[in-house]
Amino acid sequence: MTARILEGKVFAQAFREDAQKKAAALQEKYGVQPGLAVIIVGSNPASQVYVRNKHKSCEALGIYSEVIEMPETTTKDELIAKIDALNADVKIHGILVQLPLPEQIAAHESEILERIRPEKDVDGFHPVNVGRLVTGEPGLVPCTPFGCLRMLELAGIPIDGQRAVIIGRSNIVGKPMLHLLLGKNATVTICHSHTKDLPAITREADILVAAVGRPKFVTADMVKPGATVIDVGINRIAPKKLVGDVDFESVKEVAGAITPVPGGVGLLTVAMLMENVVRAAEMQLQA
Ligand code: NAD
Amino acid letter at 237? I
Distance 92 CA to ligand 1 centre (A): 31
Could you report the per-residue pLDDT of 154-169, keeping only the tens digit for each?
Answer: 999 999 999 999 999 9
Q: How many residues does the chain have?
A: 287
Instruction: Please name which of 211, 142, 154 lies closest in space to residue 7, comparing C-alpha atoms.
Output: 154
Other CB atoms within a 10 A radius of the CB of residue 48 amount to 15
Other CB atoms within a 10 A radius of the CB of residue 240 amount to 6
Looking at the structure, do residues 110 and 53 belong to the same domain, yes or no?
A: yes
Catalytic annotation on 123?
Answer: yes
Q: Is 108 in contact with 76 (CB distance < 8 Å)?
A: yes
Looking at the structure, do residues 151 and 252 belong to the same domain, yes or no?
A: yes
Q: What is the pTM of this model?
A: 0.96
Residue nearest to atom 30 of ligand 1 (CA): 233
Instruction: Please name which of 258, 265, 257, 209 lies closest in space to residue 234, comparing C-alpha atoms.
Output: 265
Q: What is the CA radius of gyration of the chain?
A: 19
Looking at the structure, do residues 95 and 172 belong to the same domain, yes or no?
A: no
- Rounded CA-CA distance 63/15 in Å is 14
Q: Which atom of ligand 1 is nearest to the CA of 266?
A: 41
* Identified catalytic residue from 22, 98, 120, 206: 98
61: domain CATH number?
A: 3.40.50.10860
Distance 1 CA to ligand 1 centre (A): 29
- Tell me, yes or no, whether 95 lies in a domain: yes
Looking at the structure, do residues 115 and 148 belong to the same domain, yes or no?
A: no
- Rounded CA-CA distance 102/31 in Å is 38
- Rounded CA-CA distance 34/279 in Å is 9
- Rounded CA-CA distance 281/287 in Å is 10
Tell me which residue range forms the domain holding 254: 142-266
- Tell me, yes or no, whether 285 lies in a domain: no
Give, for all 287 residues of the chain, the pLDDT tens digit.
799 999 999 999 999 999 999 999 999 999 999 999 999 999 999 899 999 999 999 999 999 999 999 999 999 999 999 999 999 999 999 999 999 999 999 999 999 999 999 999 999 999 999 999 999 999 999 999 999 999 999 999 999 999 999 999 999 999 999 999 999 999 999 999 999 999 999 999 999 999 999 999 999 999 999 999 999 999 999 999 999 999 999 999 999 999 999 999 999 999 999 999 999 999 999 87
